[in-house]
Structure 1
Amino acid sequence: MSMKSRLLGMAFASADVLLELDGERVTFALGAGPVPGVDPGAAWAGQPLDTILDPACQNAVASQLRKLKPGVRSEPVGIRVLTGDGRARKAIIRAFALPELAPFISCALVWDGPPVQAETPKPILDARGLLQRLGSILSQGGTGPELAVDFLEIPGLGAADEAHRRAGARIEASLQARSHQGASAARLAPDRFALVRDSADISDLAEAIRTAGVAEGLNLSAITSRGELGKAEAAVAVRTLRFALEDCLKDGAEAGSRFGERLKRTVQDADRFRGIVRERQFSLAWQPILALDSRAVHHFEALARFGGAAQAPTGPISMAEELGLIESFDLAVAEKALLQLRQPGFGLTKAAVNVSAVSLTGDGYVQGLLRMTSAYPDMRKRLMVEITETSELADLDAANRRVKALRDAGIKVCLDDFGVGAASLDYLRKLQIDIVKIDGAFVRDIETDAKVRTLAGHLVDLCRELKIETVAEMVETEGQAEAVKALGVDYGQGWLFGRPTPTPALSAPAAVGKRVGEVVGWG
């Protein structure tokens, strides 16, 4: 008896199938197939190992193969081998890397029970489903693993032919199996995917894509990028991921290569913004709003400024709105404004503070502001809340209940940027407000554009009929001031009347033939 026959007999005494792999491709197979009539040598040789395995166990096998050291047998891995007829058969596989056979890997497979119906793979998610899935994972709390999100772009995968369609299905199943709990992968576009994984999982997704392509005779390659979420708060993590994904999906080719960088930057920016709010590392600049008939200062708008900047921090504010961080900032601005209003020298100065419409989607802001002013009820009469970003007010009935709570407490409410967007009239109809601010786009062209002047006039007339006062913003010239006054606008704001200053300037710049006055009441 030859030594070869003796060794082969010993091998089959402990295994049902002998395999040889080159990387993750089957180069040789010998033994009993999963069902009668299936010859492993004929059916499996030349195929990627993933093509014969249930997707749910592909990641575990790939992980063991990557960790395999020469001369050391792997740990046993439970797998399910597809039979080709809608069933699967459980098995145990072990691998061994003999140094003189490198790079080939020897494997022994032992069947474990009869074939059973294959499990239906969990369908891949879409973008919305991925965000909901992430929120569900994080909301469970506990001491779970830190998470990462992998973004993949596969150029050419969106082609309409059958081979690319089948490859796409293979990739969906493979990525889903490799995702957190086997259910956290999404197809965002025909050629773009994202999946949530444990941060410690660094298995090569690009190789899985290549393998899926080879199985369909395609040469596919993936551009991959990873972003770490850590153990972020659920709501912030979900919004951060959405922010980064939308940013990448808007871009063209190879946007995925920058996903990790964008997600990391967004997480850092969010942390920095929270620190700014927590430490109150912002200042207020006060810009006067004047009565157009008397040029007396009516009230001031308290404008937030970061790092000594002269302009409004639109970038950070937009990010904070996207990530759900704006409510705490809006309350911090109100707190700082109220503290300044109570300082000596401020007299009975009245002020408007901005609140994002996002902050009115819940009860937190209104409750916080009412608590903040409960010890100083007279301050409420000196305060106005100016709602910005009105396009975000989806549930107007709920928003109006919160607006009403402010007005019932004596706090005036202003609607900013009125007249832009098709929903403006709906806001005016459903929100019980005191003042609207005519968008500066009307004021800019009001002297030269008859259509703009006519439209602005109708808006002012409508507000007057509803007993709502009006403010024209971005007034920079006497001509503009006279034009909006002629239309019946009550108040004006802009550089003509005064730029934002660190403290309220109770006297506005004098205009030719006009006088300036002291602060007057709300109306």
Structure 2
Amino acid sequence: MSRSAKLVEGLSDLTLWRSAIEAAGDLVYEWDLVADRIVWGGDASAFFAVQDAQVPGGGEAYHGRINPEDLPRRLRALTDHLGNDQPFDCEYRVRSDSGDFNWVHDRGAVERSPNGTPLRLLGTLRGITQRKHHEGRLEYLANFDDLTGHYNKLRLREALDHALANSLRFQQTGAFIVVGVDSLDKINRAYEYEVGDKVLVEVGRRLDRCLRAADVIGRLGGDRFGIILASCPIGEAQAAAERILQAVRQGPVPTQSGPVHVAVSAGVVAFPQQSKTAVDVMTKGEGALLAAKTAGRDCVSIYCLSEAQREDFRASMAIGEDVKQALRDERLMLAFQPVVDARNQQVSWYECLLRMRDPEGELVPAGKFIPVVEQLGLMRSIDRHVLDLAVADLVAYPDVTLAINISGLTAADRSWLRALVAHLRGRPEVARRLIVEITETAALHDIEDSARFVATVRDLGCKVAIDDFGAGYTTFRHLKALTVDIVKIDGSFVRQIRDSAENQLFVRNLLSLARAFNLATVAECVEDSEAANYLAEEGLDFLQGWHFGRPELAPPWRVGDSGDVQTWPPTDNAATLRYSQAGT
């Protein structure tokens, strides 16, 4: 190749190289270390956001544009590279003509003379401002709540760990307060979530104003804040919690939908007296908050656990573990108690009651583990297991009708409903023989959610019963909203009914309320023939109790004796007419 051809090829490569650098938005540079002169390759004025005349031409001028906080880092990287051949690679901020600082990533390598003297530095600069902003955003979110600007749960827990360590070291009392916004879910439903977010932000601001500067505030999630009060006796912590309630009460929160009146509840736990770990302190604070909400909301609850209560709690935890293991080992099973026609005392269906065997095979009374299961929040798993067992019997024995009880938590659990739909899809003959019982108190807790649950279950073809009818405050409006099929009168009104005029009057009133909606009625806890005869004469449709049979693990249909098991509804009972009138 001729010399002129090589020159043309070199110029072409240089043009291509410069075009690539400019397209990438990067700079390359050659810094003559002896003459202190920098030659830039690329659009330096655009890169630095300066006029052409302000593009730094030497190392000293360039260092004058580097952020003073970052300059020592670049100088140290240069010294290590020139003196020890460490890689030259660093990030720092450079000032533009507008005064803003932009982040750059600087990489280079020195060229030396034959005797080792540094002659020039060849390097590249890349703008990384956008990446730094993204990293800063991620770092912020790793420590702070995006909505309120307070610590997030993880960062709050770290701060609580530190406060606990200091309390143990210096033998000082601290406190942790959990503050919950009352009825935030209703605010969200009424005004949309933007208003709910506005309420949370304003509550956070009021917390800032009424607490000490040294107190640490964080958002635990949802409607809850956590507050760390270091070196604070429990009496002062309670006073601080009362101030918080008053600060929130002081006036409505202005929102785009108008002023919204807000109240909060607070749970207070002292450390290290009540707990020595951050996770446990947070859990107990949540428990104290729940106690405040249960007590009527807009109040303060102090967590206080005696040693006897601790022992009871440990025992409950042990029972909870036993139940979970029994669930894994398939030692949870159903016992079946008959529900009979009040007129002819023939069995109409069976109620499924949960039982557990211990590892030695002994039967554990339900009263020993069901209350603990409810307290520990295990009822969803248990109710799913009961559903699976009951449906298995319904599929295997087409002449059997069964009733299952579910907890209030399960009534709001969509996963349980999905399981019910999966079991009954394409099986209308099974659905017709399944009765789902929900307690009255659970049904009335959120009447709208309960109504949706009842409607979904009945749409599948199942019957729905209200258990413990009379224990709550059911009205005509409630029964109309729920559209159930059966009401089971609470056993407390049935026991000794022959000797209690008050119970007799109450049962008559409940019976009248049920009849107004064409509902079948069941009297629970019938223990003798006198009570059975009296209730039948009063017009009860069905009876259940030890007088007719105790819960049995081996029901008649499993041993080949299913002659007394009737289909639903009974053919010779007064309830049949009511069902036909109600269109069921």
- Per the normalisation by structure 1, the TM-score is 0.53
Give the structure 2 partner of residue 293 of structure 1.
Answer: 343
Does 2:409 match 1:342? no
Give the structure 1 partner of residue 412 of structure 2.
Answer: 361
Residue 271 (structure 1) shift: 4.2
List aligned pairs for 1:437-476, cutoff 5 A. 437-476=488-527
Between the aligned partners of 2:504 and 2:484, the Cα distance in structure 1 is 24
- TM-superposition CA deviations, 1:222-254 (whole Å, max 9, x none): x44446858xxxxxx96996289859x999997
Residue 311 (structure 1) shift: 7.4
8 Å CA contact retained: 1:131, 1:238: no
Between the aligned partners of 1:397 and 1:281, the Cα distance in structure 2 is 36
List aligned pairs for 1:170-185, cutoff 5 A. none
Determine which of 566, 574, 577 is the counterpart of 1:519.
Answer: 566
Partner SS for 1:447: helix
Higher helix share: 2
8 Å CA contact retained: 2:424, 2:460: no
8 Å CA contact retained: 1:357, 1:389: no
Between the aligned partners of 1:256 and 1:381, the Cα distance in structure 2 is 50
Q: State the aligned residue count.
A: 337
Give the structure 2 partner of residue 505 of structure 1.
Answer: 556
Give the structure 2 partner of residue 39 of structure 1.
Answer: none
Give the structure 1 partner of residue 42 of structure 2.
Answer: none
Determine which of 359, 362, 374 is the counterpart of 1:321.
Answer: 374
Between the aligned partners of 1:459 and 1:497, the Cα distance in structure 2 is 23
Between the aligned partners of 2:161 and 2:373, the Cα distance in structure 1 is 40
Residue 278 (structure 1) shift: 4.0
Determine which of 421, 427, 431 is the counterpart of 2:482.
Answer: 431
Does 2:541 match 1:487? no
Give the structure 1 partner of residue 206 of structure 2.
Answer: none
Between the aligned partners of 1:57 and 1:288, the Cα distance in structure 2 is 55
Sequence identity percentage: 28
| 1:499–1:318 CA distance, 2 compared to 1 (3 A) | same
8 Å CA contact retained: 2:463, 2:484: yes
Between the aligned partners of 1:456 and 1:310, the Cα distance in structure 2 is 35
8 Å CA contact retained: 2:441, 2:471: no
8 Å CA contact retained: 1:288, 1:505: no
Residue 166 (structure 1) shift: 9.9
Between the aligned partners of 1:239 and 1:63, the Cα distance in structure 2 is 20
List aligned pairs for 1:162-201, cutoff 5 A. 193-194=269-270
Partner SS for 2:436: strand
Give the structure 2 partner of residue 85 of structure 1.
Answer: none
Between the aligned partners of 1:61 and 1:319, the Cα distance in structure 2 is 30
List aligned pairs for 1:85-484, cutoff 5 A. 121=213, 158=235, 193-194=269-270, 205=272, 223-226=273-276, 229=279, 242=287, 255=305, 268-307=318-357, 313-314=366-367, 316-343=369-396, 346-374=397-425, 376-388=427-439, 390-391=441-442, 393-423=444-474, 427-484=478-535
| 1:130–1:188 CA distance, 2 compared to 1 (3 A) | farther
Between the aligned partners of 1:133 and 1:451, the Cα distance in structure 2 is 46
Between the aligned partners of 2:338 and 2:277, the Cα distance in structure 1 is 45
Between the aligned partners of 2:344 and 2:536, the Cα distance in structure 1 is 11
| 1:445–1:130 CA distance, 2 compared to 1 (3 A) | farther
Partner SS for 1:255: coil
How well do the aligned residues superpose, as a CA RMSD in angstroms? 4.9
Letter in 2 for 1:450: A
- TM-superposition CA deviations, 1:472-500 (whole Å, max 9, x none): 11111111011111111000001111111
| 1:62–1:490 CA distance, 2 compared to 1 (3 A) | closer
| 1:371–1:295 CA distance, 2 compared to 1 (3 A) | same
Letter in 2 for 1:482: N
Between the aligned partners of 1:285 and 1:311, the Cα distance in structure 2 is 12
Residue 445 (structure 1) shift: 2.7
Give the structure 2 partner of residue 42 of structure 1.
Answer: none
- Per the normalisation by structure 2, the TM-score is 0.48
| 1:59–1:333 CA distance, 2 compared to 1 (3 A) | closer
8 Å CA contact retained: 1:287, 1:499: yes
8 Å CA contact retained: 2:468, 2:490: yes
| 1:310–1:472 CA distance, 2 compared to 1 (3 A) | farther
| 1:240–1:336 CA distance, 2 compared to 1 (3 A) | farther
Partner SS for 2:335: strand
Partner SS for 1:436: strand
| 1:460–1:121 CA distance, 2 compared to 1 (3 A) | same
Partner SS for 1:444: coil
| 1:279–1:153 CA distance, 2 compared to 1 (3 A) | farther
| 1:169–1:263 CA distance, 2 compared to 1 (3 A) | same
8 Å CA contact retained: 2:357, 2:364: no
Letter in 2 for 1:288: P
| 1:350–1:262 CA distance, 2 compared to 1 (3 A) | same
8 Å CA contact retained: 1:294, 1:517: no
Between the aligned partners of 1:288 and 1:446, the Cα distance in structure 2 is 21
- TM-superposition CA deviations, 1:351-405 (whole Å, max 9, x none): 0011112211232222211112225442111111011362464221121111111
Letter in 2 for 1:193: V
Partner SS for 1:193: strand
| 1:227–1:240 CA distance, 2 compared to 1 (3 A) | same
Q: Which has the higher contact order (CA 8 A, sep 6+)?
A: 1
